[in-house]
Structure 1
């Protein structure tokens, strides 16, 4: 592939951003650009605050892009009687799917296989999925029982040996990396100033109060500082490490649990996901995702360096073993694994195992006034932003816009549009002699919404950018250029793992990586 020369302004763009970050005093400095940081930055800018957000790696570069890719009510929470939580999750799930990000959040049928020797009976699961559907006001239809034959047509690998019945319900899934990037873009559109690959090397203080941070740009090595009236520590698994920069004697506030996932190739596409009961409380998922099957997850206490988290052989054995409770063995050949990843859940400190700890958001304030936030999940990430904003209102004098009263304002993410309409427009807009493959057009529309039209425009200007990154996947080289120029992508991993679907499909070859790095250099 030959691409026209392009003057890469990444270096100058980062220099301009660093200069803006050093100008004046921000109302809020958010350290950490994962679920929590992006949500708070987006919400706070909507409230009228001048916000800066930095991350030592890429936005959503750690656990926030290593989730199970679900936006769900949490069927398993009914087991513990937490009906209110399920209802709240459903409400936010439907808001994301209908008003905030319908171009990124997609409906997905889920099946719960019920076996003769399984932990749940058909009557109990049938009642459970009916209640689950009722708590969402039957917005996705009614939970019901299916025959094994009906279920097998939706999930071809479903194990039918000993299968009595299958409970069916509906939830949603999303590409967590794309959700994160669009949330960052929403925050920037609202006025936030952001920079990834910028590492905090120290905190600034004034009369004992934390009033900013000193940083190093990991791309060029430049050092700079940011002044802020309030600093928020949203660094996920590293939350206690940053707290100790404020107070060397700070006691641990959280504990970590590792969640590992596998991505497998399948001989045919699945049209439904499986929620496989492992025991009375735990489940394992098998979810169609990006043309593959996503399996997981684990829940194991982690005490090492968060930077070292990864998938090990015992994780693979556990995930495949638990999946085998509901999936035929030929589908679970380790040779079919195209990708694996692991993230760390940040849980409140306390007694008991990590598997029994509550998945809740914890906000604390250190002796230097820095706020620290930990926990949470994608389904309720907007509410987390609101929770932290209320805490900001309580502990500081930063002015908030009057129209930030409850309930949450429904502000859509960038790109809001019907993927079907966008895909059709991309195809129609192309010259008859150079029509874009409908599969590629649909892929762009379902990952970028209306912003896919900007990528199509790049292809019109430089047709060679319409070539596929890899022959076996739908991503094209124009996405790499778009990621570089509009989505803060700096490294090949930024692009291949988080801005596109190349890595998860097992298509991240040395040649693909080389060409990606060339484009990133301009």
Structure 2
């Protein structure tokens, strides 16, 4: 059995740490793994779930940032290409190549020659680390290969390769990796104060949101990786000048638009922004918007105008695709914690990260993007080690696979384990997604399923989830609420029905695992409906191209 929450809380209270990390998104999780690999004593806390904020509300891509070439950010693109390749090796079950098609139309602000030139530079910056070099497609080819693309004014298209990923699980595996190395990582624990020891920050006051108990966590250094909440944490240390310019990115999920496993990278006619239409199982994921947001990060959610924008711009570029509001299966929005730098358009704000050392004992990490999280963590690791006088080994995070990533040839591993899981009575359509989700950790899932045949049953009628996955998430993946399971350990909250058919069974099983009473279960249900389910616009009028 894994270390239980009570023991983790005990260690948090009574152990002195080298570093306390505030924030369990991908930045904090990556830093926790990096520092634990270097041999430091690490604690991490998050007031919500791991990846509960921006890190589960991304476009779900590991990409080198083709559009960053327009701003001349060649260094960022080169770094992203390198990190994309590394992540395919560290987590091949979660990060996999996907082709993208960029169509060019007469009258576009970006003429087709510019697209061709950009992709040539993109390949050069990758230094052979792309899955393949880009290809050009004539309009005649596209009419047959991608009939859902609008043909009027089409002058050609270019195909290139980036990667899709499971954002929440990539974040979770960094947390699990850190814990395997001795780190103490706790979700649903809030930081309520930063405590000075003389002239420096030396501890934090934290509260376990489940029990209400408060404790003090001693650490030689505190790393603020709170994402959109970064400035809120900085204010606890008396720093009032804002460092962030948060922007809201909204995504929608609609019935599958194209049957090929190929994404579209399209240009908006309204503001020349680029957005994606990505195959996502039986759905298409469309996004994202880029809108300044000056309210509390706790209040971010999709708004009707963002959803309308994505529908209208998709209809403008896609033939016979008359998307309407009622076609939206789910929607989600997250905040990019971008560094405040000038007053230009939100979409032009740099995605590069910045490390702020404003008070002794406190280091804040602003900005960044998913693709380069490991490189950022490595840089923070070097700074922290230098500050603490620690000589831990560098470079391990680029070589040591994530817990589910130690699979060798993933295609062979997937075939072998899909077949093996079928011996438990699972169909291939049930077994293969388990291998994709857990990677090498599917061996531990199998051990659990073998203890009770009932764990192999569907969680609910017609549910793709197994009963055992709820138990596994509670025991081995720190899941504490139904939202943790249905939104981040799995993606049921984003699928048709938004996980409501699975909610009752999830609550029942989770309550048994955690030993909680009916009042907690009712609160879980209320929280799931208010926090994990998007209330979609009720307008059912058709939006034309």
TM-score normalised by structure 2 residue count = 0.88
CA apart distance, 1:477: 2.1
| Deviation, structure 1 residue 301 | 0.5
Aligned to 2:391: 400
Deviation of 1:39 after TM superposition, in Å, equals: 1.0
Counterparts of 1:106 and 1:161, CA distance in 2:
33
Of the three residues 104, 111, 118, the one matched with 2:94 is 104
1:415 to 2:376 alignment: no
How many angstroms does 1:92 deviate by?
1.1
Note closer, same or farther for the CA distance 1:427–1:134 as it changes in structure 2 (3 Å cut).
same
The CA distance in 2 between the partners of 1:441 and 1:183, in whole Å, is 24
Pairs within 5 Å for 1:102-141? 102-138=92-128, 139-141=130-132
Q: Are positions 1:448 and 2:434 aligned together?
A: no
Q: Which moved more, 1:291-300 or 1:80-89?
A: 80-89
2:148 aligns to what? 157
Alpha-carbon separation, structure 1, partners of 2:121 and 2:257: 35
Hey, what's the Cα distance between the residues in 2 that align with 1:133 and 1:42? 31
Contact 1:284 1:322 in 2 (8 A): no
Instruction: Judge which range, 170-179 or 114-123, deviates more.
Output: 114-123
- The residue correspondences of 1:246-257 to structure 2 (distance < 5 A) are 246-247=237-238, 250-257=240-247
Conserved in 2, the CA contact under 8 Å of 1:157 and 1:331?
Answer: no
Give the aligned partner of residue 32 of structure 1.
23
Match of 1:261 in 2: 251
Q: Cα distance, 1:130 vs. partner?
A: 2.8
Q: Which of 273, 291, 302 is matched with 2:293 structurally?
A: 302
Number of matched residues? Answer: 507
Q: Which runs of 5+ in 1 are unaligned?
A: 1-8
Contact 2:17 2:219 in 1 (8 A): yes
Output the CA distance in 2 between the equivalents of 1:420 and 1:472: 28
Cα distance in 2, alignment partners of residues 217 and 412 from structure 1: 31
Shift of 1:407: 8.8
Structure 1 match to 2:377: 385
Secondary structure, in 3 states, of the residue corresponding to 1:461?
coil
Distance verdict in 2 for CA 1:310–1:431, change over 3 Å: closer
- Counterpart contact for 1:419–1:445, Cα < 8 Å: no
- Partner SS state of residue 332, structure 1: coil
Distance (Å, rounded) in 2 between the aligned partners of 1:472 and 1:135 = 46
For residue 42 of structure 1, the aligned residue among 27, 33, 36 is 33
Q: What's the CA shift string for 1:446-483, capped at 9, x where partnerless?
A: 11112123223333322232233455553322221111
Call closer, same or farther: CA 1:409–1:110 in 2, change over 3 Å: closer
The answer (yes or no) to whether the contact 1:18–1:224 under 8 Å persists in 2 is no
Query: Is this contact kept in 1: 2:120–2:134, CA < 8 A?
Result: yes
| Superposition TM-score, scaled by structure 1 size | 0.91
Corresponding residue of 2:534: none
Per the alignment, do residues 148 and 459 of structure 1 end up closer, same or farther by CA in structure 2, a change over 3 Å counting?
farther
Aligned to 2:11: 20
Distance 1:287 1:437 in 2: 26
Pick from 484, 493, 496 the counterpart of residue 503 of structure 1.
493
Aligned partners of 1:79 and 1:281 also within 8 Å: no
- Quote the residue 1:3 is aligned against: none
Q: Per the alignment, in what secondary structure is the counterpart of residue 210 of structure 2?
A: coil
**Secondary structure class of the residue paired with 1:92:** helix
Matched, 1:425 2:416: yes
What are the superposed Cα offsets for residues 138-181 of structure 1, whole Å, 9 maximum, x if unpaired? 44222121134544565553222332211111110101001011
Unaligned runs of 5+ in 2: 513-545
CA deviation string 1:15-57 (max 9, x = no partner): 1111011223100000111111111111011111100000000
CA contact (8 A) 1:113 1:326 kept: no
For 1:503, what is the secondary structure of its paired residue? helix
What is the CA-CA distance between 1:423 and the residue it aligns to? 3.9
Larger mean CA deviation between 266-275 and 35-44 belongs to 266-275
Does the 8 Å CA contact 2:257/2:283 hold for their aligned counterparts?
A: no
Look up the SS of the partner of 2:359 in the other structure.
coil
* Contact 2:418 2:432 survives alignment (8 Å): no
Q: Please give the alpha-carbon distance, in whole angstroms, between the structure 2 residues aligned to 1:470 and 1:75.
A: 42
C-alpha contact (below 8 Å) 2:329/2:496 kept by paired residues: yes
Out of 379-388 and 409-418, give the one that drifted further.
409-418
Tell me which residue corresponds to 2:79: 88
User: Match of 2:219, SS?
Assistant: strand
Residues 1:72 and 2:87 aligned together? no
Query: What CA distance in whole angstroms lies between the structure 2 residues aligned with 1:136 and 1:480?
Result: 40
